[in-house]
Structure 1
């Protein structure tokens, strides 16, 4: 795909995502990722053209967000893995990502909803002191704290009342978290009754 066509397709993807046409996004993403690979920017290198790296990062972020709206946890996790090297180079790639913190927090929320507490804490350790500063990251951290305290009513409220959820994407994973809370509460009742 020539670069002009690539840029046109990237804008088309951004427009489809803005229009919430996630099915169209899912069809536009694979050929764009092939082109990213052909341009050697699917994995960022310091020798890559930084402007193209920003475009690549934005495409992958749209892919991750699209995966959430399509409720595809595995695809979301793949996109997050592909984005990690871009986020590691965030000081070099300009303009900065507007979605990085949101996507990292969504990954934390997914880990929490899957009850993968060890991986949750491993991921959290890489964030230093951002858990208190960032509204997105604070949400899954607070939920995890309440789960560990056994404050299931607080978790229930924070995940079922849309006014408590930072963005629409969080509401999708929050639905899964509600199921996790129900399982944990049931396990606690079984333990208490034994």
Structure 2
């Protein structure tokens, strides 16, 4: 796993073979962050990374200057890897949470400037995630929610949908 930009730029963290995550590709991640760079003041942004997997997106948030990043992962091996990566980098701004994302969303009270979710593409309840975010009012005013998904999903009819970006097989839907 490679961190693209920021204070940890070009740092590589070897991902153990026992991790079953499908990390967002470097190409898609770099493209996403190019879009976000034009609209996000990293030093003023609180972020939430759901279905964190290897933690690559959360670590990218921290590397770019986010002062507070929560990442939620349910798999123990993935969570352990994220904690080791956090320790290796000394990323005190990262707050890993080992929890089921849906249970976490029911209990969280904090609002975030930026929420990113990368659920398994075959997750049966993927279509419910935007509604959960907005019903719980987890975004601050002017905040953005980004959902990574496959081409099988189409969120354009959602009332908070703004746009979709496609990078190969990776699709990002933006909501405000």
TM-score (norm 1): 0.25
Q: Which has the higher contact order (CA 8 A, sep 6+)?
A: 2
TM-score (norm 2): 0.27
Looking at CA atoms only, which structure, 1 or 2, has the larger radius of gyration? 1
Structure with bigger helix share is 1
